[in-house]
Structure 1
Amino acid sequence: MAGIQKFPVRSVFLYLVLIIFSKLSFGGSSSKHSSGFRLKLIPRDSPKSPLYPGNLTHLEKMERLIDFTKAKAELRRMRFHTSPSSSMFDDEKYIVALRRQAFYYIAEMKLGIPGQLIYLVLDTTADLIWTQCEPCVHCFDQEAPIFDPKASMTYSRVPCRDRHCSYGNENDYFTCLGGYCTYNLTYNNSLLGSTIGSSSRDYFHFYDDTSGYSSTKFNLFFGCSNYTTNLSMFIDPQNIISGVMGLNLSPLSLNSQLKDRIQGKFAYCVIPWDENFPFDVHALPFDFGDDVVLPQRKIPMEVSYAKVGDANEYYLDLRDISVADSHCFFVFGTFDPAPGEGFILDSTSPITMLTKNATKTGINVYDKVITKLRNYYQLQHLSPLLGPDNPTNYELCYKNKENFTDFAWITYHFRKSADYVVDAKFMNINYSGGFFCVALLGNDGPQTVLGLFHMQNMRIIHHATDFDHGSIQFYPADCAEDHF
């Protein structure tokens, strides 16, 4: 395997804006036949993006990926491994990273009849769909008008008997008040904010790239937020965000609520961060239902997943990792699924993170993999950048050697001999200063996370068989060939 990735200053894939468009052939909430729709992704760093941050240096863009990856890992650790009374998570660097970069995807849509424009953060680790609503007792600023339920002919509050309003559960955030379902959702023990409001239903209209907002609509359960606090990730002078759209395994998420219509399927293909694919002109599709197409000739690798406790992320049964052709031979149980532990796939994490302390075995996975990579490049006689000579937060960086092509690759070995190979050209970041770094980070928490950097040129298909079980299929593809 050969090659190393080059990154143009003008575009970094991870920070994208989602505009929903497409082949939405189904109508209101009563329709049961399958159909599909597609999300159109535009790079966040493109001048066409409403979140365009302005000119950043190449190093600044790369370091943003590291900051946000670490911030997300700390959030997961806090969620599963911190008691409600804890006063931890006071490290300002995580708060700043989230405030600056939390908007991976933004979904543009209209809500109600007649439709009112809203923009929601698309989050594959979140459950509840919610948006700020009038009367807004305490809200963060947003450029678009706040959704007014009274102006919608189809808005309704949800009664306590609604199946989504599981207020009898000990760990739930719903409450029955005056016969209606209310919610109080906190993020990481309120340290990162909360949203409080009425559980509601109304029609969501998605954007059609050809005809604009058409009559296509879904009647969805969502949170109408009248009180938001401390959500610093949304505080920005030009903020257009009004809330969050969840895409995890919870029954409250968009994909779960539309499960019958989309056959439990959604898929994406990660276009390489390569100078040959300028993202300001080539968008990434995110497909649902009938728009998800299996390959004609290639047989996808399939890995099953099952819901783990109260966690709604996608946990996969990883058994081992190898560098080039050398296995690490991790002890059985190192990646066993458990809330906040094990191996998860996260399409909103930039860089892959390997745990430094696997709960059941205590093994430092990151150190073992890094050691194998260091030994590999030592045999290739590459010169490492050490101490102050390394301007990045990556541990392994090397001076480029003329005509060198023998870069290391990584393979993730799953149960039933399913091997996920990360091509060598998607293992490294090449800097303009004449050096490259291995794109891997260590996680002080017990979880290992497969990030988007290791998903480049891989089509990834989620297929839920029910709310608790399903599979994820992978197969190599030329993702740049995807067009609308």
Structure 2
Amino acid sequence: MAHLFLFTLLALSSSLPSIFAAHTASLHLRLTHVDSGQPFSSTGRIHRLVQRSHHRRKVLESRLANNSSASFNVLLKASMFDYFIEYSIGTPKLPVTGVLDTGSEVVWAKCQPCEQCDHKGISIYDPSKSSTFSKLPCSSPLYDYQPLKSVSVPKCEYVYVYGSAMINGFLATEMFSLGAESPTVNLTFGCNRLVKGTFSGASGVVDLGQGKLSLVSQLNLGRFSYCLTPFKSSSKSHLLLGDLASAKKASSGEVQSTPFLNATDQYYVAMRGISIGGNLLPIPASVFEYNKEESTGVLVDSGTGQTQLPQSAFDVIKKELQSLVGLRVKDMSKTVGLDLCFGLSSWPPPPLPDMVFHFDNGADMRMPQMNYMFADKRTRAYCLVMRPGQNGDKLTIIGNYQQQNMHIIYDVASRMLRFESTPCESF
């Protein structure tokens, strides 16, 4: 059976059924936030989120532009991703920690011996100690997969760029187990012996994008979903694969659905406008228009912390919030790192109405105050957790801070994004 699964993967055909598909109905995994259990203040955590978001934007822009040129001097000391997932690799099984990413194209692991790898507190996979490891031959067509930048075909190597970071290794197959109740499956993955950049606390990456080497494509997942607990919560978040990734409130009509845009491996959606408290803001729909060649449009991303908007859209939101809050603007760029903050003279901060992102198909992503504002009693900060793009950039990225307490369903088979508000701590 394992040989049949391996043949299915190497055939590179997403139309072939996956052995794993029959087992995904009960697969419910836990996600750990990168700062969970760390001794950071609320302000410290939001500052780290801002730093990661800034770097993450560069990662996505690099991927969208197919740009292999990068400077690999990464100053960010924290991980460039927000959520970890526990799984195991090899025979015997080696428990490892990977980062969840919906914006890349390859599942990979750090492999021994690994140059410039951060080994502190994490397990590094050693292929020489696994009886089920198999290196792909140099003739494999996977080395011609466009996102993998071949640097030495005779040596069967590739380079994959994450903005200002990169990985270098070779392709192989190995047995993976994604959870205690998960079947062991044979995946094609990147075995990396050179990692430049910071992947702190992670042994690798579990990719949920739509490329042919992603987990979604290799396991033929029709859908997956996640539910992210609140920013200040200590509870783990949730990841569901396969049949379990279904709407909880389908019968009540509270589920919103909007189509993914075609002709892209990224999760683009069409956004038509933004409102606050029922007031549709004067932002032209053209600001959010998708254009593949110009890398513009609206991306939904699990790895970006704060939502990032074109400057013109951000300015309209900023003006509206200044009018609603009625407090003086306070420069907290050095301590918090956010672009719009108000200074509080008393506690609690003034209440604000819901903000709504309006998408195609009449889908409305309704966000309460906690999903777009950050309030800290100690520093008296009251800040918008969104930022503008730079240099006329028109890419919009909907970040995970805005996705708190939402069940986000990526219905890949139907090409639909579905979402519903729900308390993720009791999911």
Band the TM-score falls in, shorter-chain normalisation: 0.7 to 0.9
Q: CA RMSD in A?
A: 3.2
Q: Is the 8 A contact 1:413 1:420 kept in 2?
A: yes
Q: Which residue of 1 aligns with 2:191?
A: 224
Aligned sequence identity (%) = 20
**Pairwise CA distance, 1:333:** 2.8
Match of 1:350 in 2: 305
Output aligned runs, 1:121-136, within 5 Å.
121-134=99-112, 136=113
Residue 270 of structure 2: aligned partner: 317
Post-superposition shift, 1:435?
4.0
Answer whether contact 1:184 1:196 (CA < 8 A) is retained: yes
Structure 1 residues 459 and 406: alpha-carbon distance in aligned structure 2, compared to 1, 3 A threshold: same
* Aligned-residue offset at 1:106: 2.8
Q: TM-score, normalised by structure 1?
A: 0.73
Give the counterpart letter for 1:138 in structure 2.
E
Question: Do 1:73 and 1:443's aligned partners in 2 also have CA atoms closer than 8 Å?
Answer: no
* Aligned match of 1:173: 149
Q: Comparing 424-433 with 101-110, which one deviates more in the overlay? A: 101-110
Q: Which has the larger radius of gyration?
A: 1
Partner of 1:56: 40
Letter in 2 for 1:385: V
Query: Cα offset for 1:337?
Result: 2.0
Contact 1:355–1:447 (CA under 8 A) maintained in structure 2: yes
**Aligned residue pair count:** 401
Q: CA deviation at 1:146?
A: 3.8
Aligned equivalents of 1:390, 1:195: Cα separation in 2: 35
User: Which residue number in structure 1 is paired with residue 168 of structure 2?
Assistant: 195
Deviation at 1:438, TM superposition (A): 2.1
Aligned match of 1:19: none
C-alpha offsets along residues 390-425 of structure 1, whole Å, 9 cap, x if unaligned? 954332314255677541331111113221111123
Mark the CA change 1:271 to 1:216 in structure 2 (over 3 Å): closer, same or farther: same
- Correspondence for 2:125 among 147, 155, 161: 147
1:429, distance to aligned residue in structure 2 (A): 1.1
Contact 1:343 1:447 in 2 (8 A): yes
Map of 2:211 onto structure 1:
250
Secondary structure at 1:416 match in 2: helix
1:221, 1:252 within 8 Å by CA — same for their partners in 2?
Answer: yes
Cα distance 1:268–1:400, how it changes in 2: closer, same or farther (>3 A)? farther
TM, length-normalised to structure 2: 0.82
The alpha-carbon deviation at position 463 of structure 1 amounts to: 0.9
Q: Which amino acid aligns with 1:441?
A: R
1:39 to 25, 29, 43: 29
Alignment of 1:62-461 (within 5 A): 62-80=46-64, 95-97=74-76, 99-134=77-112, 136=113, 138-143=115-120, 146-159=124-137, 165-168=141-144, 172-173=148-149, 177=153, 182-188=156-162, 191-197=164-170, 199-208=171-180, 216-225=183-192, 227-229=193-195, 231-234=196-199, 240-259=201-220, 262=221, 264-274=222-232, 278-279=233-234, 282-296=235-249, 297-299=251-253, 300-309=255-264, 312-339=265-292, 340-356=295-311, 364-377=312-325, 382-387=326-331, 392-394=336-338, 395-399=340-344, 405-432=350-377, 433-444=379-390, 445-461=393-409
Deviations 1:199-257 (A, max 9, x none): 1112112331xxxxx782011111122x314x2304xxxx6533222111112111221
Distance 1:290 1:29 in 2: 14
Which residue in the other structure is 2:12 paired with? none
Q: Distance between the aligned counterparts of 1:321 and 1:106, measured in 2? A: 31
Structure 1: tracts of 5 or more residues without a match:
1-27, 209-213, 357-363
Give the residue type in structure 2 aligned to 1:155: F
Alignment deviations for residues 332-358 of structure 1 (CA, whole Å, 9 cap, x no partner): 4321223432111111111111112xx
**How far is the alpha carbon of 1:125 from its aligned partner?**
1.4
Consecutive unaligned residues of structure 2, counting only runs of 5 or more, are: 1-16
Measured in 2, the distance between the counterparts of 1:32 and 1:215 equals 11
